[in-house]
Amino acid sequence: MLKATEVVPLRTTANKLGVFRFRLVLAMIASYLAMMSFLIYSARHTTQTADVAADFSPAMVALASCMAFSVILTGFFVFVRNRD
């Protein structure tokens, strides 16, 4: 084992949170919050019906939209960064 005798001044900045990155993070969080708000709102204001549900519900569409948005956003980020 080596002794810890060497002293190396080292204080560097790893990266800056760029405007592009920052906007994408905000977009993702906003999308997630929108999905959650919609789900909570729709669950509290559901109209009771005797008909049997036979199609995708608005809540399912909201969940699927958020999931699709997550995939699209990662793809967009990778596409833009790989072109740099």
Binding residues for other proteins, rule: CB under 8 A, are 1-17, 21, 24-25, 28-29, 31-32, 35-36, 39-40, 42-44, 46, 49, 51-57, 59-60, 63, 66-68, 70-71, 73-75, 77-78, 81-82
Closest C-alpha among 68, 70, 46 to residue 58: 46
Please state the closest distance from residue 1 (CB atom) to other proteins, in A: 5
The identity of residue 59, as a single letter, is: A
Please state the closest distance from residue 5 (CB atom) to other proteins, in A: 6
Tokens standing for residue 42:
């729709």
Please state the closest distance from residue 74 (CB atom) to other proteins, in A: 5
CA distance 29 to 57: 23
CA distance 84 to 77: 11
